[in-house]
Amino acid sequence: MNAPAASFPTTAMPHDTPPDTPRPTPRLPLPEGSLQGLRVIDLSRVLAGPYCTQILADHGADVLKIEPPVGDETRGWGPPFDAQGTASYFHGLNRNKRGCTMDLTDPAQREALLAMLADADVLVENFKTGTMEKWGLGPQELTARFPRLVYARITGFGADGPLGGLPGYDAAIQALAGLMSVNGEPDSKGGEPLRVGLPVVDMVTGLNAALGVSFALIERQRSGRGQYLEVALYDAGLSLLHPHAANHLMDGRIPGRTGNAHPNICPYDTFATATEKIFLAVGNDKQFATLCRLIGADDLPGDERFVSNAQRSRNRVALKERLEAALARFECKPLADRLVREGVPCAPIQDVAAALADPHTQHRGMVVELDGYRGVASPIKLGRTPASYRLPPPKRGP
């Protein structure tokens, strides 16, 4: 990592500081994370970029989030809001970061940014294509001026091609990249295409950006040189199409919607019980045989219609009828607990509150509490250099 230097801001500045001067929050003692000593300038807003930099920050990077004077727009994406009027949406993506406000349309503040970049390892931005170039801060200029800098750009569609340079948002990418076409109840049940109920494209774009930054930093250890990398929401959306894309590329058929059922595996769906529905995710013949034994349907594994996954998939309607007839004798939650302990993947369907309050969630330390902030913890569990939680999301600058 680069050696410390005074131009990377380390302390907050007083409130009477002129408005053209960045005011980062104080730096805390260095954590013992795997990215300790890594310095990141985060110019990104909304979701994919901030999620990328929060991953880096959780694992020890010193991330300085620089917002425009109006702030990151997700500060207003509520309710709910905190006492200062900042939305929960912003809180979920920006912990462990120091913060300041800069107006990069001002040449003097661009010079201040350049001074910070002299000591930074990584820059992450998701401005509209061409904006950074217009300011003289594009990847060609910055990687030439700072040869060790890893410059990560997040875009909607990339810079060129038929859709190059156009803005992209998660739901629109879900529609265009085919995700909505395979999500929802089938036509036979009156279904229509639905977006996935969380911003999956943005989040996987952020994950890929964090991976890309990590790859570039590992390569820099060999070459001594940083590099430019780009992650586009459109590409990330297409990458999520498994197994639907693999199926289509093999047999040419256009995948349709199957509701909760898996297109390639059976039984892999929701099933009615005597109480609420259970989700069964049975992936092999042994699991199927165990399921049938435990619910008193021992004849099903020997039925030629159900002897293999391929046969079960071809006869899924008949199989669902037989399974639900047997499952009608059981309550969902006790059955789910018994099945999973016998090696049959399954679960009751919990809401968000129940999932966050689940004893296993608490055991895994997956809810963070810090100075009034609460959030979902890092799922990456490194044994020697675990994630740490040091700073709540930065307050909005003046």
SS (H, E, C) the chain: CCCCCCCCCCCCCCCCCCCCCCCCCCCCCCCCCCCCCCEEEECCCCCHHHHHHHHHHHCCCEEEEEECCCCCHHHHCCCCECCCCCEHHHHCCCCCEEEEECCCCCHHHHHHHHHHHCCCCEEEECCCCCHHHHCCCCHHHHHHHCCCCEEEEEECCCCCCCCCCCCCCHHHHHHHCCCHHHCCCCHHHCCCCCCCCCCHHHHHHHHHHHHHHHHHHHHHHHHCCCCEEEEEHHHHHHHCCCCHHHHHHHHCCCCCCCCCCCCCCCCEEEECCCCCCEEEECCCHHHHHHHHHHCCCCCHHHCCCCCCHHHHHHCHHHHHHHHHHHHCCCCHHHHHHHHHHCCCCEEECCCHHHHHHCHHHHHCCCEEEECCEEEECCCCCCCCCCCCCCCCCCCCCC
Catalytic positions, please? 202
Count the Cβ atoms, other than its own, within 10 Å of residue 397.
Answer: 19
Q: Could you give the C-alpha distances from 207 to 56, 64, 106, 215, 355, in angstroms and in order?
A: 10, 19, 32, 12, 22
